[in-house]
Structure 1
C-alpha cells in the first residue's frame, strides 16, 4: 500500500480536483496547549490519545467514530503512552504513574511504580500481565516493571547486567513469552521463552518505539537523522533507507501497512517490497510527530507537537482516511 500520491495538502486553500477515493489527509487538532504524545486504538471507531499536562491535567481523549470525549485522569503530570485491551486502556507517564481506564464502569484506577522514573511505555498483554518501562530524566538508568494483577515489581530474572547502560523507552511483543524492549544504550532487550538477552544494535543511536506485524519487528529512532532497525531472533539489522531521513519517533505495523513518523511532520511507509519512502502528501508542519496508529480500515492517526524543540506544547493530531465527522 502506498499513499505518496494521495490528495492535495489541506494547508492549501482548495484542491483543484476531487480527493482520491482511498482517503484524504486532514489536521484534526492543532495548537493545543499540551503536546499529544501517544495514540492507540482497536478500530477507526475506538481511538485513544494521551498527552502533556499544560496546567490542568494531562490530555486523555477518546474518539468513538462520531465525536471526541475528553476524560479527567484525576491528577497532574504528563502521560507518555497509551495501549489497551478489550476491557481496559492503560496509560503511563511522569513520576512512575500508571493508569487503567475501565471501559465498563468508565473510571480510572491508578498506581505508582516502585520507583519514580518517568514511564515512557506501557504494554498490556492481559489484565493481569502488563509491562511498563522508562528511565530517569537523563536517560542514564532504565527501569522495567511487570504487573501480575496484584502489584508492580521488577522481573526477578532481570539482572543489573542486562540493564547496564540501558534506558528503556518502549515495549512490544507477539505474546507473553516474546517481547522486545528498546531505548538508549546501543542495545535492545529480548525476552523469549523465559530467557532474557541483550541484542547489540548496529549503532548506539536511540530507538524510541518498537512494533511488529506479519512476522516482522521494527524499531525507529535516531538523533536529528532517522534510524530504522529490524529486530530478529538472530540479531538486529539497520534498514534505514539511504538519503535524508529525519529523526523518527513512532512506528505502527499492521497487516496492511507499516508507518513511521517523526520530526517536521515526517510520515514514512514501508512498501510491500520492503523499501521505506516518505508519504509526500501528508500535511507539512514544522512540528514533531511522536506516535502513530494504523486502524483496520487503513486510516493513519499521527500525534505530536513541540516535543523535542519545545516544552511539550502545540498539540497536533493528523488523520488520513475517510474524513472524520465534524
Structure 2
C-alpha cells in the first residue's frame, strides 16, 4: 500500500504536506494492530504570544526551496537539509546547509544525485549523517567528513528496495537509520564500525517518518499504519526487541515526530487529514501523549494546520513543538510546554509573510532552540529556505 503525500496543496514533512510521493511502505505478513480508543483531553488555550524567536537568514538556495529537518551539535555547529529548485526545468535537487556559529552557508552537493534530503542527525564534526531520496535506485546514507557530505558504505547499499526516511545519532555516536529493505520496515544500526540490520518491525502496511535516539541502545520510531480504511498513528520502541505501542486512532493520521522522556511519558505530533474535503483543505494538527497505559489526544490550540516536530529541553522533557496554523499565517507557529499544558506561541512578526515550519531542535549545552522550514506554504517561487532561532 502506497500513501500519497499530496493533500491540501501545501508542502511540508507529512500527511500530504510533502512534495512528491512517499517512500514505499513495508509489507509484512503480520496484520496491522487495531487502533484502540484514546482518551480525549482539552489542552489549555491562551492567547498566542511571542517568546523571542528570531528569523535567521539561510541564503543560497534556489526557489522554491524548503528545509525539512535540522540537527544541532552545539551553538557553533548545526546542519539542515531539504530540497531546492522545486519548480525548475531541470528538476528538484537536495539542499544542505551548515551553521558555523555565525551564519548559514549552503553545502555543495553537486557530486551527488539526490532529489531531496529527508533527515539529518549529528553530535560532532565527524559524527553527522543524513539520508535522502536519490534520482535512481537505492537510498544513500551520507556522512559529514568535516567539510562535505560523502556516501557511506553499508550492507544493502545500492539495492533498489532500500529506502531510508530518517536517521538519528545517539550521544554514544551510534547511528540509526529507519526505512525499508526487502519489503519490511527495518532499522540499520552502526556501532563502532559495524553495521547491522535489525529485526523487521512487526507491523504490516505502514510507513516510518522518524527515528529518535533516547539513550544507548534505545530508539523510538513514528509514522502511520493501515487500519483497513485509513491510517492510524504508529509509535514503537527498539531496545533490543520491538515494542509497538497501541495505534493512535485516527481517520488519516500520520505521526511526524515523537519525543520519549521515558516509557510512560511519550509525546507524538503529526497531522490528521480527516475524511476529506474541498481541494486545498488543510489537515488537522494532532497531539497525543502516552502515559504507559493509553494515549490521550489533546487539542493543539488551533484546528486547521499541522504539527511537524517536537524537541526536548536540557532535562529531556518535551518543550517545544513546531507547527503551521492555516488560519493565522502572519508569523510562524509553535507550541510551548507550560507545566501540563501546551501554549500557542508565535514567531517573529513581519519577518516572513507566511512561514511554514517543518522541525524544531534543542541546542545542546544551552536553553536555546532552532527551527527550520520555508518562507511560505506554497511550493513555488519565491518560497525559500527559512530558519528561526530562540536565544534564552
TM band (smaller chain): 0.7 to 0.9
User: Following the alignment from structure 1 to structure 2, what is the Cα–Cα distance between the partners of residues 293 and 116?
Assistant: 31
Bigger drift between 270-279 and 89-98 goes to 270-279
Alpha carbons 2:367, 2:391 under 8 Å: kept: no
CA contact (8 A) 2:237 2:244 kept: no
Residue pairs, 1:168-187, within 5 angstroms = 168-185=208-225, 186-187=232-233
1:60 is matched with which residue? Answer: 96
Give 1:79 shift: 0.5
CA distance in 2, matches of 1:313, 1:52: 14
Point out the more displaced range, 237-246 or 247-256.
Answer: 237-246
Which among 89, 106, 113 is matched to residue 76 of structure 1?
Answer: 113
* Cα-to-partner distance string for 1:239-269 (whole Å, 9 max, x where unaligned): 3346526211122122376211223565222
Report the TM-score, using the length of structure 1 for normalisation: 0.76
Shift of 1:116: 4.2
Q: Which residue, 125, 134, 154 being the options, matches 2:170? A: 125
Equivalent in the alignment of 1:16: none
1:255 to 314, 326, 331: 314
Which has the larger displacement, 310-319 or 61-70? 310-319
Residue 236 (1) aligns with residue 295 (2): yes
The answer on whether the counterparts of 1:79 and 1:93 sit within 8 Å (CA) in structure 2 is yes
Residue 210 of structure 1 deviates from its aligned partner by: 1.6
> Unaligned regions of 5+ residues in structure 2, if any?
1-45, 86-90, 226-231, 274-282
Per-residue CA deviation, residues 86-126 of structure 1 (Å, 9 max, x unaligned), is: 331110110412101023x7663434464445532101237
Would the alpha carbon gap of residues 318 and 167 (structure 1) be closer, same or farther in structure 2, given more than 3 Å must change?
same
Q: Is 1:290 aligned to 2:358, yes or no?
A: yes
CA distance in structure 2 between the aligned counterparts of 1:116 and 1:287, rounded to whole angstroms: 35
Q: Distance in 1 between matches of 2:355 and 2:163?
A: 23
Asked if residue 158 in structure 1 is aligned to residue 204 in structure 2, the reply is no
Give how far 1:167 is off: 0.4
Match of 1:43 among 40, 61, 74: 74
Q: 1:196 aligned to 2:235?
A: no
Farther-moved stretch of structure 1 (145-154 vs 163-172): 145-154
290-299 vs 235-244, greater mean Cα deviation:
235-244
Check conservation: 2:375, 2:386, Cα contact below 8 A: no
Residues matched between the structures, number: 299
Residue 206 and residue 322 in structure 1: after superposition, are their counterparts in 2 closer, same or farther (change >3 A)?
closer
Say which of 373, 381, 392 aligns to 1:304: 373
- Residue number in structure 2 paired with 1:221: 270
1:28 alignment partner in structure 2: 57
Which residue of the other structure, out of 273, 279, 289, is the alignment partner of 2:345? Answer: 279
Kept in 1, the 8 Å contact 2:70–2:81? The answer is yes
* Contact residue 53 and residue 79 of structure 1 kept, 8 A: no
The unaligned stretches of length 5 or more in structure 1 are 8-22
Q: 1:174 is paired with a residue of what secondary structure?
A: strand
Distance 1:288 1:240 in 2: 20
- How far did residue 184 of structure 1 move? 1.4
- CA-atom RMSD in angstroms: 3.6
